[in-house]
Structure 1
Amino acid sequence: MTEKIKMLAAALLVIAGIAGYYYFSEAAAFVRVLSVLVGVFAAVGVMWQTPVGQQFFVFSQESVREAKKVVWPSRKETIQTTGIVFVFVIVMAVFLWFVDAGLMWAVKMLMGRSDT
């Protein structure tokens, strides 16, 4: 039960930070943003004390570790792939234009509305 109360407190801290943003509507933008950040950091501090918060921290560490394993393409590979995509888009656009023009011609011929 205490874990649920801590999570509720964390949510209320975030809400309080957002409420502070609107409460200080006449203040400088720095003060308004600071109120939201204080609420969020306080909520993170409270969530840190719960098992859910601990699991999230472990999950985020594992995510960073996995992201470091990603092999990004080189600049040359990226440019080549982008070029292939552009060429394919142009070819498909021309193909679809021909199909559309052919179907329009066929419908006009079937309806007896030839332009000749």
Structure 2
Amino acid sequence: MTDKIKLLAAVLMVIAGIAGFYYLADSPAVVRLGAILAGFAAAIAIFWFTQAGRQFFAFSQESVVEARKVVWPTRKETIQTTGIVFAFVVVMALFLWLVDAGLLWAVKLLMGRSDT
């Protein structure tokens, strides 16, 4: 139950930060931005101490570890793959253009119209 109260408090902090932004409409932009940042900082601080916050932090750490395991392609592999994709797009465009032109010709032939 305390986690739900903390989550509600975090949401209220975000709402308070946004409300402060609009309440301080006559203030300089830095002050208004500070109000939003303060609301979000308070919300993050409260969220940090909930069970969901601890699970999110653990998930974030595991995600960083997994991202470091990714094997990124070399520059040569990237260029080759990009070239293959472009070549496929050109071939597919030509194929679709030929099919479209063929179907147009067939429909005109069946309808008894000619290009004269």
Give the secondary-structure state (helix, strand or coil) at the position aligned to 1:55: helix
**In 2, Cα distance between equivalents of 1:88 and 1:108:** 30
Task: Please state if 1:114 is matched with 2:114.
Answer: yes
**In 2, Cα distance between equivalents of 1:104 and 1:26:** 64
In structure 1, the partner of 2:43 is 43
Residue identity in the other structure for 1:88: F
**In 1, Cα distance between equivalents of 2:72 and 2:3:** 41
**In 2, Cα distance between equivalents of 1:30 and 1:87:** 51
Pairs within 5 Å for 1:1-116: 1-116=1-116
TM-superposed CA distance for 1:50, in Å, is 1.1
**In 2, Cα distance between equivalents of 1:29 and 1:79:** 45
Residue identity in the other structure for 1:81: T
**In 1, Cα distance between equivalents of 2:108 and 2:42:** 70
Report the RMSD for the aligned CA atoms in angstroms. Answer: 1.1
Once the two structures are overlaid, the 10-residue window that deviates more, 14-23 or 106-115, is 14-23
4+ residue runs of structure 1 moved beyond 4 angstroms? Answer: none
Residue identity in the other structure for 2:107: V
Normalization by structure 2: what TM-score? 0.94
Normalization by structure 1: what TM-score? 0.94
TM-superposed CA distance for 1:87, in Å, is 0.9
TM-superposed CA distance for 1:28, in Å, is 2.3
How many residues are paired up?
Answer: 116
TM-superposed CA distance for 1:26, in Å, is 2.5
**In 1, Cα distance between equivalents of 2:110 and 2:89:** 31
